[in-house]
Amino acid sequence: MAAIWTTGCRQNASSSKSTRTTNKEQKRIEMYCEDDLVQISEKERNLEAAFDCRLVSHPQNSLSVVRVPGDSLCVVARPLDGADWLRKNSMLKITFNETPSEERRILHGRLVVPSVRELRRTLKKNHRNDRRSACIVDLNEVTFIDKSGMRLLRALAREGAQFTASRIYTKHLIEQLNTKRKSGRSSLFSSVFAGLIPILLSVLISTPAAKAQNRPVNGSVPSGPASDQMIRLTLRDAVNMALKYNLGTIESGENTRIARGQRLVALSKLLPQVSASASENVAQGNLATVGIKKLPIPDVIGPYSYSAAGADLSQTLFSFESIQLFRAARTAEQAAQLSYQDILDVVTLIVGNAYLQIIEAGSRIEAQEAQVRNARALYDQAVDQVQAGTAPRIDATRTEVQLHTEEFNLSIARNNFEVAKLTLGRAIGLPLGQQFELADTLPYSDISPLSTDDALQIAYKSRSDFRSALGSQKAAAQTLSAAKGERYPTVAINGDYGDVGSTFGHSHGDFTFQAGIKVPLFTGGRIKGDVTQGEAALRQRKAEAENIRGQIDYDVRTAFLNLNAAKEQVEVAKQNVELANENLARSKDRFTSGVTDSVEVVQAEQALASANDQYITSLYNHNFSKLFLARALGVARTNYQQYLGGK
C-alpha cells in the first residue's frame, strides 16, 4: 500500500522567477491496495477492521494512507506536507523543476510496486517531448527501490534520463544501470561479462577454417569408467585431458591425417606405377570360327598350354597440372597442421574458462552462505526483540522473508556450481559420473603485458589460425595454377616385359615400350570452368585471411581494454566490499540499540551481497581477460600457466 504526493513548477525562458501553474500544481492523494483486500466503496467499519485504522470523511472521497506508531495504518482525508510524507515508509514524493534546458525530477521516499505505476503516469504526463532538454532524476532522498522500481529506472535510462545519487545504496543501483547500458552499446566485457562469454567463445571458434572443419570443442569422448575416489583436478590436468579427449581436438587431428592422405594421392600421380603378374594358360581354338578354312592343318588347334610372367611400368614424365596439384595438397596439409595447433589454443581457452567458472561459482556459494548466516542472525535477533516487546512483529516478518530469500539464492548458487562442474567434465572427457574437486584456486595476480604494437607483431607471427589461412590461400593459388596447367602438353611412357613359354623352363622373353605426348586441343570448356572455379576459391581464401588479420587486431586490442578495465573493477569492487561490510556492521549496531528498524539492516545486507557479487565477477573477469589475451597472442596452449598460474 502506498501513496504519492506531487508538486511541480516550471521556469520560463524569459524569466528566472519560478511560477506556479494551475495544471502543474498538484496535491493529489490516492490509495492503492496491492492485494485488493478493500475498495474505497466499502463500508467504513470494514475498512477500519481490516487495517486497524480510523477513517476521516472527505468531500471528494480522496483518501491517503499513512503508517502510525505501532505499525498500524491511518486513513486521513487531507493533503500532508512534505515532511510528513518523508517520515512514512511506504510513500513517495515527486518534485518537478523544469527549465528550458533541463527537466529535473526529485524523488523522496520508497520507489516500490504500488507507487511505480502512478510515478510512470505522472512522469509521462509532465514530460516535454523536447530532445534538447536533459532529463535528470534525483535519487538522493530515495531510501529503497524494489524490482519494479529498477525496471522503471532502466526504462528511463533507455530514454536518455540521467541519475544522481549520494547514498551508497542508490549509487550502487545507478552503477548497475550504467554498467548494463554500456554493456549493450560498446563492450562485450562489462559487469555482465559472464553472461556474454559464450558469445565471445563462439566468435573465437567461428573462423572460416573452423567452420570448414566443424570443430565441436565443447564435446568430448569419455576417457573410461569412473572411479569411486574423489580426484583433485589441477588446471594442467584439465588441459592435458582435453587435448586428448576433446572432440574438437580429435576431429582436427583426423582432418590433418586426411590432408596427409590427399597429399600422398597427389604425389602418386608423379611417381612410376609398377605392377607384376604371373599366369598359367590352357586354350583350344577353332580356325573355322574365324573364317579360316581349307588349310593343310587341322581346323581345331589344341588344347595347348603356356606359362607367362611379366611386369608393367607406366609413368607421367611431365604434367604441370599434376605438379601443381601435388604442391597444393602439400600446402593444404601444412595448413591443416596449423589448424590443429589453433584448435589446441581454442580448447585451452574453453577449458580455462570452464575451470574459472567453477572457481567463481564456488566463491558465490561461500559468499551466499555468509549472507544466510547474517540473515539468520538478524532474524533471531528480531524474534527476540518481538518477544521482548521492543520491536513490532513486522520486523520479524521482514527479516524472515530476507532469510528465505538468501536461502533461495544459496540453492541457486549450489546448482550453478554443479552445472559448471559438469560443463568442465564434458569439455575434457572425464569418465561419466566421475566426482572431482579443483586443486587450483588461481588467486588474483596482476601481469605486465606488452605494448599493443608489440603484441600485434607477436600475434601475427604466432596465431596458428592466421598462418593456416595464409596456407589455405597459397594452396588455392596453386590449385588455380594447376587448372591453368591443364592446357599444357603431358608426356608419359609405359611398357611391359614378360617371360612366356610352354613351361618356365622352355620360355622366352618379350617386351613392349611406348612413349607419347598428349596435347589438349578442345575440351568443351572444361578447362575454362576449372579456372573460373579456382579464381573464385582463391578470392575467398584471400578474403578469409584478411578477415582473420582484422580479427587478430580486434582480439588483441579488446584483450588489453578488458584487462585494464577488469583490473580497475577488482580494485573498486574490493573497496566496495569493505564499505558494505562496515555499513552492515553499523546498521546492526543501530538495530540492536533500537535506533532503527530492520529495513536498514536488510538494505545493508542486500548492498553487501551485491558488493560481493561484483567482487567475485571482477576476479573472474580479470582471470579470463588474461587467458583471452594469451589466446589473442596465439600462446594460450604453451603459456596459459604463465598468465593464470596454477600447479
* Confidence label for 91 from pLDDT (cuts 50, 70 and 90): low
Residue 294 pLDDT more than 90? no
**Domain limits at 16?**
3-166
Render pLDDT for 346-379 as a digit per residue (tens, 0 to 9): 999 999 999 999 999 999 999 999 999 988 988 9
Q: What integer is the mean pLDDT of 619-645?
A: 90
* Higher pLDDT among residues 81 and 502, named by residue: 502
Percent of the chain with pLDDT over 90: 45
Q: What's the whole-number mean pLDDT along residues 123-128?
A: 61
Query: Considering Cα of 528, then 533, then 539, then 545, what sign does the dihedral take?
Result: negative
Return mean pLDDT, the chain.
Answer: 78
Domain count, the chain: 1
The cell numbers describing 277, all together, are 603378374
Long-range CB contacts (within 8 A, 24+) of 188-192: 188/558, 189/558, 189/561, 189/562, 189/565, 189/566, 189/621, 189/625, 190/565, 191/569, 191/614, 191/617
Measure the CA dihedral 376/617/144/27, to 10°. Answer: -160
**pLDDT tens by residue, 3-55:** 334 333 333 333 333 333 333 333 333 333 333 333 333 434 444 444 444 33
Q: For residue 428, give the C-alpha cell.
A: 575434457
* Class of residue 43 by CB neighbours under 10 A (exposed 0-12, middle 13-18, buried 19+): exposed
Sign of CA dihedral 532, 538, 544, 549: negative
Note the pLDDT tens digit of each residue in 472-515.
999 999 999 999 999 999 999 999 998 888 777 777 888 899 99
Judge whether 407 lies within some domain.
Answer: no
pLDDT on residue 245: 93
Q: Which of 643, 623, 631, 642 is nearest to 562 (CA)?
A: 623
Q: Kindly report, residue by residue over 127-176, the tens digit of the pLDDT.
A: 555 555 677 888 877 777 777 778 788 888 877 778 877 665 676 677 66
Contact 637, 574 (CB under 8 A): no
Give the pLDDT confidence score for residue 61 in this predicted structure. Answer: 37
- Residues 388-447 have pLDDT tens digits of 888 888 988 988 998 999 999 999 999 999 999 999 999 999 999 999 999 988 888 888
| Confidence at residue 83, expressed as pLDDT on a 0 to 100 scale | 39
- Distance between CA atoms of residues 605 and 597, nearest Å: 14
Helix segments in 194-319, DSSP class H: 197-204, 208-213, 235-245, 247-268
Could you tell me which residues come within 8 angstroms of residue 527 by beta carbon, excluding any fewer than 6 positions away? Answer: 483, 484, 486, 487, 520
Evaluate whether residue 540 is within a structural domain: no
Report pLDDT for 237. 93
How far is 551 from 539, CA to CA, in rounded Å?
A: 18
Residue 112 included in any domain: yes
CA–CA gap between residue 570 and residue 582 (Å, rounded): 19
pLDDT of residue 641: 86
CA dist., res. 285 & res. 156, Å (int): 104
In a domain, 577, yes or no: no
Evaluate whether 64 touches 78 at the Cβ level (below 8 Å). yes
Report field, pTM of the whole predicted structure over 0.85: no
* pLDDT at site 151: 79
Q: Using one digit for the tens of pLDDT, what is the confidence trace for 315-355?
A: 999 999 999 999 999 999 999 999 999 999 999 999 999 99
Is the pLDDT higher at 287 or at 474? Answer: 474
- Domain assignment of residue 236, yes or no: no
Q: Is residue 246 part of a domain?
A: no
Range from 280-289, 362-371, 535-544 carrying the lowest mean pLDDT = 280-289
Cα–Cα separations (whole angstroms), residue 166 to 171, 174, 242, 324, 606: 6, 10, 50, 73, 17
Q: Is 279 a domain residue?
A: no
Q: Where are the extended beta strands (E) located within 112-149?
A: 134-145
The answer to the question of residue 554 being in a domain is no
The CATH number covering residue 117 comes to 3.30.750.24
